[in-house]
Amino acid sequence: MKNKAATVIAFALVLLLSFPFIYAHLNRKPATTTTASDDTAHQPGSVQFAIANPPQIEQAQLGKVQSNKVYYRNKVVVLIYHHIDAKEEAGLVISPERFASELDMLLSRGYHVISLDQLRDFLNGGSVPDNAVLITFDDGYESVHQYALPELQKRHMPAVAFAIVKYVGQKLGNLKYYGWDAAREMATANLITQSHTYNLHNFGFLANGKNGPLLNGPLKGQSLSDYRNMVYLDLKRSREEIESQLQQPVYALALPFGAAGQIAIQAAIDAGFKLVFTTRYGVVTRQSNPLALPRVNAGSPAITPARLDALIQATAGVNSHPQEQLKQPQNHQLKVASKKTK
The residue ranges of every structural domain in the chain are 36-65, 76-341
pTM for this entry = 0.77
3-state SS class at 192 = strand
Dist CA 319 CA 316 (whole Å): 8
Percent of the chain having pLDDT more than 70? 74
| Superfamily name and number for 76-341 | Glycoside hydrolase/deacetylase (3.20.20.370)
Q: What is the mean pLDDT of residues 217-244?
A: 97
Q: What is the mean pLDDT of residues 264-276?
A: 98
Q: What is the mean pLDDT of residues 246-264?
A: 97
Residue 267 burial by CB count (10 A; 0-12/13-18/19+): exposed, middle or buried? buried
Pick from 170, 171, 198, 153: nearest CA to 180:
170
Q: What are the pLDDT digits (tens) for 127-171?
A: 999 999 999 999 999 999 999 999 999 999 999 999 999 999 999
Mean pLDDT for all residues in the chain: 81
Least confident of 5-19, 122-136, 282-296: 5-19
pLDDT above 60: residue 333: no
